[in-house]
Amino acid sequence: MGQSDENESLINPKDFQSTSIQVQFRNANSKTPLKKEANVTLTEWLEKGLVIEVPSRTCATGHSAAITLSAVRGAEKLMVVNMTVKITDVENLPDFRDRVTLSFVQYEEFEWKKLLRLFASRQDEIEDFFKKVRGY
Amino acid sequence: MKAQQDDLVKVFEDFIGGQKVLIADTNAAARATLCKLLIEMGIKTAQLVLTSSYPKAEAEIETSRPKLVICDFDLGSRSGLDLLQKQRAKFPDSKDSLFVLATGNNSQSAVARAAEEDVDCFILKPFSSITFRSSILKAVVLKVQPPEYLKVIDRGKTYLTSGQLDEAIKSFEFAAGLDPSPSLACYYLGQANFVKKALEPAEGGYRSGLNYNKIHYRCMVGLYEVLAARKLSKDAYEVIKRISQYFPANPKRLAEVLRLAVVTESYDDIEKYYQLFIQIDDRNEEIVRYICAALVVCGKYYLRKGLQSRALELFQKAAVSAAGRTNILREIIMALVEYGLLKFADEYLGRFPPDTQSGKDYLTMKLLIAHNSTPALRVVDTGRDILKMGIQDPLVYQILISRTGEAGLNASVQDLVNKAAALWPEKKDFFQKLAEDAAKKGAQSAVKTEK
């Protein structure tokens, strides 16, 4: 919307949509997929890994897991990246949640970089928009 | 490169000093990640305050007065921007501190609201440690080592707030020469002239700012305000529409857009906004209320113009969007009754949700329809029953005074007038006049009956 021309509509439903990442996690050691309602969130990109939040006792350090990251905007799936990871750290959090650090074992590097670029370019757009809005 | 980074970290450490850093995020892992990254940047554990909810964050703002706040856009049912407003209202000098939104909500509506509120930094989640660190450091550097352009503007702002308007204007003019795109300086030139009540030069200032940067938020708002002050509704409407294109989802502004659409009789626009509105998943209460109200106003306009089917279509849309909001149904019924469309009014009465059918709006509208379709004595009985239930509504009194007077029950009329005048003193003359008219009408019909 920031780059919209004068004829664009006043209310654009797309302005209210956010691009988010859905995480599917399957522990390869316990072979048990997480329940659909289990909330897994991605909190940090690492150079060759991720930090996610999962229900407690989902996995332990040293376990392997299969992860699918889907970038979604509204009902549209923008891209999907599959990877095999090793759990390198598990930190217990309040409310029966764990902060889990994963490092990639096998992953689609091209897709992974594309996903990072998707978010990095949105971050750049936001910074640019802020500069224009403020005027400095 | 390393030395440069170390310098920046030193600037950051000096900026924070020994003061608190507040992290407000509903997600425990996000809080833990932010904590870890801030500790890596030199913040001590004892300086960190972590909260998981809006009320706790608000309390911490008051007690800890943090130098740096990092919070999510969505904090339960509240927004991180509410927290920023709270902080600024409570501590006006908090502009010296840093407010960062770290959020997964990257919708343009969220970004634009954050920019409107002058958030210092907007970091997308998930982020990498490098992005987080560089975004925070950039924001801190801008805060503590602003460019000359901003320093001169700040000087001008000090003159402006102390009422030295000519000095302020000189500073802003000087600042305008220091930046290739001096929209902010132009904005303050506009502001200084606005304060001087020189509205045309003020408009000129805002327009020049927009020539440099067509989405400069403050210039757009300034231009809107000056046009509104000059009562140039059509021009003001065009500007506020433009603001809303770039900064969507501000319910107060949308209300103003809809108000101006009504004032400028841009009824086709209202219907267009409605079409887009129904596509939005995340509609908040205020937006729903305003769009419904605008549709009803628009419908009334079409009734006035004799375009009944178009009006009915809009009322239908308003009623659907209102989803049982009784004040909207009430407005629709009142408009329909005013134009004698009692059958339709009765249909809308049937749309009140069952749990609201003992409430003020339902019973008052039921009485209004009866008032236009049943004999006086029956209306009086129904009205009295409503009053006995403890419902106080001027329209109930209005109807009762009219029909009681028509029925020749003069003592009761004066009692009703006195009660209504005590409840709504500003309408005392209106109720008295109503009683007099009703008495005349009653006397006339009594004469007719005798004849």
Break chain A into its structural domains and give their ranges: 18-134
Q: HSE of B142 in the Cβ direction (CA atoms, 13 Å)?
A: 15
Name every residue whose Cβ is closer than 8 Å to that of residue B450 and which is 6 or more positions away in sequence: none
How far apart are alpha carbons A24 and A36 in whole angstroms? 9
pLDDT tens-digit readout, B254-276: 778 888 888 888 888 888 888 77
Distance separating alpha carbons of residues B218 and B240, to the nearest angstrom: 12
Which of A23, A126, A128, A131 is the mutation pick for testing B, counting most B CBs within 10 A?
A126
8 Å CB contact of A136 and B30? no
Candidates A4, A8, A9, A16: best to mutate against B (most CBs of B within 10 A) is A16
Name residues whose C-beta falls within 8 Å of residue B217's C-beta, 6 or more positions apart in sequence: A133, A134, B115, B116, B243, B246, B247
Determine, for residues A135 and B28 on separate chains, whether the beta-carbon distance falls below 8 Å. Answer: no
Convert the pLDDT of each residue in B416-441 to its tens digit: 999 999 999 999 999 999 988 888 87
Closest approach of chain A CAs to the CA of B159, in angstroms? 21
- Residues of B numbered 208-247 whose beta carbons fall under 8 angstroms of chain A's beta carbons: which are they? 209, 212-213, 215-219, 241-242, 244-246
Q: Answer whether B101's CB lies under 8 Å from B74's CB.
A: no
Q: Does B181 touch chain A (CB under 8 A)?
A: yes
Summarize the confidence of residues B227-233 as an average pLDDT. 92
pLDDT of residue A7: 42
* pTM of the predicted model as reported, rounded to 2 decimal places: 0.69
Tokens of B246: 């770039």
- Do the Cβ atoms of B29 and A97 come within 8 Å? yes
Rounded Cα–Cα distance for residues B251 and B264 (Å): 20
Convert the pLDDT of each residue in B301-321 to its tens digit.
Answer: 899 989 999 999 999 999 999
Asked if B125 lies within 8 A of A10 by C-beta distance, the reply is: no
What does the pLDDT read at residue B240? Answer: 87
Containing H/E element for A89?
strand A76-93
Rg of chain A in Å (alpha carbons) = 18
Cβ-contact A43, A102 below 8 angstroms: no
Question: pLDDT tens digit string along B86-113?
Answer: 998 888 877 789 999 999 988 887 888 8
Q: Name A77's bridge partners.
A: A72
Pick among B52, B125, B135, B186 to test the A interface (most A CBs inside 10 A)? B125
Q: Which positions ≥6 away from B269 have C-beta within 8 Å?
A: A10, B241, B261
Check whether domain A18-134 has CATH 2.40.10.220, yes or no: yes
From the list A10, A43, A130, which residue is nearest B126 (CB)? A43
Task: Report the C-alpha gap between B377 and B179 in whole angstroms.
Answer: 77
Confidence label for B10 from pLDDT (cuts 50, 70 and 90): confident
List residues bridging with B101 in a β-sheet.
B71, B122
Instruction: Name the strands in the sheet holding B48-51, side by side, starting at the edge strand that comes first in the sequence.
Output: B48-51, B21-24, B68-71, B98-103, B121-124
How far is it, in rounded angstroms, from Cα B38 to Cα B16? 11
Residue A123: predicted pLDDT: 92
Query: Residue A125 CB: number of other CB atoms within 10 A?
Result: 16
What is the reported pLDDT for A5? 42
Across all residues in chain B, what is the average pLDDT?
90
Question: How would residue A1 be classed by pLDDT, with cut points 50, 70 and 90?
Answer: very low
Does residue B208 sit in helix, strand or coil?
helix
Secondary-structure percent of chain A, ordered helix, strand, coil, rounded to 5: 20, 45, 30
> Could you read off the pLDDT of A94-134 as tens digits, one per residue?
888 899 999 999 999 999 999 999 999 899 999 988 988 88
> Which of 23-82 (B) contact A at CB < 8 A?
27-30, 32-33
* DSSP single-letter state for residue B98: E
A19 min Cα distance to partner chain B (Å): 6
pLDDT at residue A13, rounded to an integer: 61
Both tokens of B77, joined, read 């049912």
Q: Kind of pairing, strands A97-107 and A49-55?
A: antiparallel
Of B264, B339, B329, B335, which Cα lies nearest the Cα of B292? B329
Closest by Cβ to A18, choosing from B107, B135, B182: B107
Identity of the residue in B28, B217, B280 whose CB atom sits nearest the CB atom of A95 = B28
